Structure 1
Amino acid sequence: MKRWGWLGTAVALALTLVVLAVLGVREPAPGHDVGELAAPLPMAPRTTSSSASPPPTVPAATSPPAWMRRMQPGEKPPQFVLFSFDGAASKPHWDRIMPLAKAANAHVTGLLSGVYLVPDQDAATYTGPGHDQGDSSIGFGGSRADVALRIEYLNAAIDAGHEIGTHYNGHFCVGDEPNVGMWTTEQWNSEIDQFFGIVDKARQQGFKLDPAAVRGGRTPCLEGKWDQAFPAMRGRGLVYDTSHVSLGVVWPSVQDGVWEFPMPEVRVPALGKQVVMMDFNLWYALNGAKEQPEKAPEFTRIVLDTYRSVYQAALNGNRAPVVIGNHFNEWAGGAFSNAVEGFLGEVCVRAETVCATYTEVIQWMQLQDPVVLEQLRRIPAARN
């Protein structure tokens, strides 16, 4: 059974600010949308200050856009907005995102669950660490024809300049033990190796994804024992993670040799509450994640107002990249898909704004004076 979950967060004592749950969610199998509520999940970690590890690097852009350059003294950075989608295996959603992104000169990141490239009849070729052969909490890729179609539309996304990262494979969260929050480095090595093995097999069927272009991802339900997970990520060539949470919008920092792009915990103006800015978290804050499609227009408006408020706080503040985490879903009558698609079309065309992939932001940071980047990181978090 697919299950939803919520993650408890701590009280910000200095501000006497009660923060809502950081919610973990299992994205549905391709073409499906709803699941069951889960037991509480552990708290997603707040990102910490930079470690002493040197920043990992990526190859420079081969055909850099005009904004991909070193800033002049006193110049403000672009206001980056990073749209990312867990699972990344829904053709109807890619079909909507692609033309919107093209019109707005935007790139997005799809965080692919590897099992969606494995036909159901080949499920036994995957064994999640500590789990039975052929077991996956989110199912597999359907028929061979389904997988072939998926490769086709993911290729179109790659050709359009969008990034494909990893959401790993079997999506084992609390309740499906051993969950990813318990895994050792050896178990993470197995999971990541199997992801790349799945990609390699799909490449034999025409998948254009270069394994070297998979540079990071988000863990299932934001879970992970990080002193075990990060060494495996580094060892398999991954340079970024986007599973942690920050209070407000902050600049990426290096955590144990990996760039961490945290999702911000923000204020939802209509609710007066703090929520992690991810679609399911927002849904849970609005009505406990109940299906009320008749409220779709209201929910879309509230989420759009939240996105706008956070964007404006960052633009007028530290200019840190705004990370918007999503799933390809039609929850609550499509309220959250409508909000993120509307915001993408609205914000990515604005002056000084760049809607980019994680790799593109890293490439931009590599061009900057490290002293300037450190000064940016020391600016207080942007709070809406």
Structure 2
Amino acid sequence: MSVIFRAFTLACVSFSLTCPAFADESPAQRPQYVIISFDGAHELAQWQRSRSLAARTGARFTYFLSCVFLLSRENRNEYHAPGKSAGRSNVGFAQSKDEVRQRLAQIWLAHSEGHDIASHACGHFDGKDWTKADWLNEFSSFSRIVRDAYKINGIEGEPEGWKQFAETGISGFRVPYLSDGKALYSALSEKNFAYDASGISRGPAEPQMVDGMMRFALPQIPEGPQKRPIIAMDYNLFVRHSGGIERKDADGAFENRAYEAFRAAFDREYDGKRVPLGMGFHFTLMNGGAYWRALERFAGEVCVKADVKCVSYADYLADQRAAGKTQTGNVGG
């Protein structure tokens, strides 16, 4: 063991820090993790499309669900966001109870196939100024609406085990707008969330266990001719490529730029330290679906590799726990 590595290890022990999970493994000994997630989990066609991609590649995804999509306009007053009037949402609601029924079916299918259903709160409001009590109220709304979705909407055929899934099977969170803060983390801790995926890192970073909860970050990756860093998420690419104005990408330029950025970020880790690579997407197709096509090309190439694990956040955490590599630190929230 080198002097530098030994000193680093002693520092981790002395200061109760969480050391990188694979600090004692060479890249050849560890798999390359790729963690792909979807925010909002709204459009029915994208539920089906993402599940088909998973079936083709062996990947498992995390779906961050906004609970307002389990309410129709008829019963939208079931949701009351902190500081807002009842029935308000930044992203709307389902158009009908039949749409809710179909979405519930997709959620259950994805859960049954081993995907990770996680929370994206409800109304997609920016909670940077919310108090801990506000966040606890939002989490309670999410839990109640998901648990009682069939009853609230008068939909028959609730699967056996749905309520147990709603109460114990949703253990992860990503905050809207990646707008985190101390009040949020205090509320997450009180609600015993297993992980949070709201962070941003300068590049791929080892997830850290902080106060009993694993924290993941979406990395900034080089993109475009100048290789300027950008968060590895479709919306950020959309804003950079077209100023957030929808364009059809007729020549495939946006798709190719996104694919090349994803693949280059993967190759750097795969051929290097093999730090887990996280990537975020939405169910809204932007610039003619350029970023979903880039994702499908990327996943079709890398997720089928024997030493690559395209997994959900929950799967990654389970792997680390099984290997005894989730040492808890107390570096604060």
Q: How far apart are 1:317 and its partner, in Å?
A: 2.2
Q: Aligned pair count? A: 304
Kept in 2: contact 1:329–1:337 (CA 8 A) = no
Structure 2 residue 185 is matched with structure 1 residue 238: no
Q: Give the corresponding residue for 2:7.
A: none
Question: Is this contact kept in 1: 2:18–2:210, CA < 8 A?
Answer: no
More helix by share: 2
Quote the residue 2:4 is aligned against.
Answer: none
Instruction: State the partner residue of 2:174.
Output: 218
Q: What is residue 97 of structure 1 aligned with on the other side?
A: 50
Aligned to 1:107: 60
The AA in structure 2 aligned to 1:198 is I
The answer for the alignment partner of 1:143 in structure 2 is 96
Alpha-carbon distance between aligned partners in 2 of 1:157 and 1:296, rounded to the nearest angstrom: 33
Which range moved further: 231-240 or 80-89? Answer: 231-240
- Which letter does structure 1 place at the counterpart of 2:248? P
Aligned to 2:36: 83
Which position in structure 1 is the counterpart of 2:202?
247
Determine if the alignment matches structure 1 residue 162 to structure 2 residue 118.
no
Q: Determine if the alignment matches structure 1 residue 131 to structure 2 residue 84.
A: yes
Matched, 1:313 2:268: yes
Q: Partner letter of residue 129 of structure 1?
A: P
Name the residue aligned to 1:8: none
**Aligned residue number for residue 189 of structure 1:** 136
Shift of residue 321, structure 1, vs aligned partner: 1.4
Judged with a 3 Å threshold, the aligned counterparts in structure 2 of structure 1 residues 298 and 217 are, in CA distance, closer, same or farther, namely same
- Note if contact 2:249-2:255 (Cα within 8 Å) is conserved in structure 1: no
Q: Deviations over 1:349-383 (max 9, x none)?
A: 01210111111101111133549x89xxxxxxxxx
1:268-307 matches, within 5 Å, as: 268-295=223-250, 297-307=252-262
Kept in 2: contact 1:266–1:277 (CA 8 A): yes
Question: 1:71–1:363: structure 2 CA closer, same or farther, 3 Å change rule?
Answer: farther
Query: 1-side partners of 2:247 and 2:89: how far apart?
Result: 29
The equivalent of 1:361 in structure 2 is: 316
Q: Distance in 2 between matches of 1:333 and 1:282?
A: 13
Counterpart residue type for residue 131 of structure 2 = T
Farther off after superposition, 241-250 or 138-147 = 138-147
Write out per-residue CA displacement over residues 22-44 of structure 1, whole angstroms, 9 at most, x where no aligned residue.
Answer: xxxxxxxxxxxxxxxxxxxxxxx
Query: Secondary structure of the equivalent of 2:37?
Result: strand
Residues of 2 paired with 1:127 and 1:53: CA distance? 39
Partner Cα separation in structure 2 for residue 146 and residue 287 of structure 1: 31
Q: Is the 8 A contact 1:82 1:323 kept in 2?
A: yes
For residues 316 and 101 of structure 1, what CA distance do their matches in structure 2 show? 24
CA distance in 1, matches of 2:125, 2:255: 30
Residues 296 and 290 (structure 1 numbering): CA distance in 2 closer, same or farther, change over 3 Å?
farther
The answer to whether the 8 Å contact 2:124/2:176 transfers is yes
Structure 2 residue runs without a partner (length 5+): 1-11, 329-333
1:299-340 CA distance string (max 9 Å, x none): 111100001000011112221211101101221111111111
- Identity %, equivalent residues: 29
The Cα of 1:118 is off from its aligned counterpart by 1.2
Q: After TM superposition, give the deviation of residue 213 of structure 1 in Å.
A: 1.3
Q: CA deviation at 1:203?
A: 5.4
- 1:119 and 2:72 matched: yes
Change (3 A) 1:324 1:125: same
User: How far apart, CA to CA, are the structure 2 residues paired with 1:108 and 1:163?
Assistant: 6
1:254-310 Cα distance to aligned partner (Å, 9 max, x none): 234421110001111434211111101112122322222144611111100001000
Q: Find the counterpart in structure 1 of residue 9 from structure 2.
A: none
Q: Which structure 1 residue ranges, 5 or more long, are not aligned?
A: 1-48, 56-69, 174-179, 375-384
